[in-house]
Amino acid sequence: MDRWGSELPELEGERLCLRMLKRADAPGVLSVFGDPEVIRYWSSPELKDLDEARELIDRIHGLFEKRELFQWGIHSTELDRIVGTCTLQHVDTTHKRAEVGIALGSKSWGHGFGSEALGLLFDFAFNALDLHRLEADVDPNNARSVAMFEKLGFQREGYLRERWHLLGEIQDSVWFGLLKREWRP
């Protein structure tokens, strides 16, 4: 992963490009992480303004430099803007596994962007990085996300009670896993 240099590799799809976020993407990042419908199932509070969006982009870059988080912006080529992000984190090259995540602005739900973005990410993780296993931590109340991961072939592997404390609530978590041999692009 150190071979990536100063930026994440761009991953091109039919309608999307996964790419490194830029500070100029702050309006798109704010539209995702400032959206209460998205943050309802996320692990941090919503962003309030463009300054906070730029700070988030700077944190993402800092974590990439440390090789602790690999977070791509999901750029819609049709709309010419950022509609979400997807991540690889807790990458373990010894055991060939990583955790995946996605956040998609609610205005982009129902268009297949999540499945397309994750398909690009999974192909990269399993082929370019030669990972064996991907994991996802999903709020069980997030029916859209649960359905999407199941559609992509993930298996439910565990239920963690009262794992997250967010927005005055205690939330459970469902763990999903996908093995390389199960992935069908």
β-bridge mates for residue 18, sequence order:
11, 74
Architecture of the domain made up of 12-182: 3-Layer(aba) Sandwich (3.40)
Q: Check if the beta carbon of residue 177 is closer than 8 Å to that of residue 138.
A: no
Tokens 């309030």, residue? 48
Q: What whole-number distance in Å separates Cα of residue 82 and Cα of residue 27? A: 8
Amino acid present at 87: T
Q: Pick from 158, 176, 138: which is nearest to 42 by CA? A: 138
* pTM metric for this prediction: 0.92
Q: Rounded to an integer, what is the distance from CA 127 to the centroid of its chain?
A: 18
Token pair 């029916």 is at which residue? 143
Tell me the per-residue pLDDT of 128-155, one tens digit each, with 9 for 90 and over: 999 999 999 999 999 999 999 999 999 9
User: What's the pLDDT tens digit per position in 16-43?
Assistant: 999 999 999 999 999 999 999 998 888 7
- The reported pLDDT for the residue numbered 6 is 80
- Lowest model confidence (mean pLDDT) among 1-15, 82-96, 111-125, 153-167: 1-15
Locate the domains of the chain by residue range: 12-182
Rounded average pLDDT over 90-116: 95
Q: What percent of the chain has pLDDT over 70?
A: 98
Residue 84 has pLDDT above 80, yes or no: yes
Nearest to 11 by CA among 107, 87, 68, 99: 87
Cα pseudo-dihedral 91, 74, 121, 1, rounded to 10: -40
